[in-house]
């Protein structure tokens, strides 16, 4: 199993990043500062359905035709 030993990975790509915390605690601040520039891909790495619903509810204002939503078990387009 892959582990970063609790350290947030650093990436050299301005198109993405990592946010540490619970979805319901971190998404409101993310949503206030998020600016959509290109195609939006929501990669929802979650263990249960309620967590996915929290992400989709918060990101709903940004979801339009052409957005990809990827979850652990399926891909929706």
Domain residues for 54? 39-77
Q: How many domains does the chain have?
A: 1
Strands 68-71 and 75-76: antiparallel
Give the global pTM.
Answer: 0.64
Q: How far apart (Å, rounded) are the C-alpha atoms in residues 5 and 74?
A: 28
- Answer yes or no: is pLDDT of 25 > 90: yes
Please indicate, yes or no, if residue 47 is contained in any of the structural domains.
Answer: yes
Please indicate, yes or no, if residue 76 is contained in any of the structural domains.
Answer: yes
Please indicate, yes or no, if residue 54 is contained in any of the structural domains.
Answer: yes
Please indicate, yes or no, if residue 25 is contained in any of the structural domains.
Answer: no
The proportion of the chain whose per-residue pLDDT surpasses 70, expressed as a percent, equals 84
- What are 28's two structure tokens? 């409101």
Please indicate, yes or no, if residue 29 is contained in any of the structural domains.
Answer: no
Please indicate, yes or no, if residue 50 is contained in any of the structural domains.
Answer: yes
Please indicate, yes or no, if residue 10 is contained in any of the structural domains.
Answer: no
Of the two residues 73 and 11, the one the predictor is more confident about is: 11
Q: Please list the helix, strand and coil fractions of the chain in percent, rounded to the nearest 5, in that order.
A: 30, 15, 55
- Answer yes or no: is pLDDT of 76 > 50: no
Residue 7: how many other CB atoms lie within 10 Å: 8
pLDDT band, residue 72 (cuts 50/70/90): low
- What are 51's two structure tokens? 């967590």
């Amino acid at each position: 199993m892959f582990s970063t030993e609790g350290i947030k990975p650093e990436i050299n790509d301005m198109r993405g990043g990592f946010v540490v915390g619970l979805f319901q605690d971190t998404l409101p601040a993310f949503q206030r500062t998020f600016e959509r520039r290109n195609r939006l891909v929501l990669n929802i790495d979650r263990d249960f359905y309620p967590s996915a619903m929290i992400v989709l509810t918060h990101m709903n204002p940004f979801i339009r035709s052409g957005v990809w939503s990827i979850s652990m078990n399926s891909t929706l387009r």
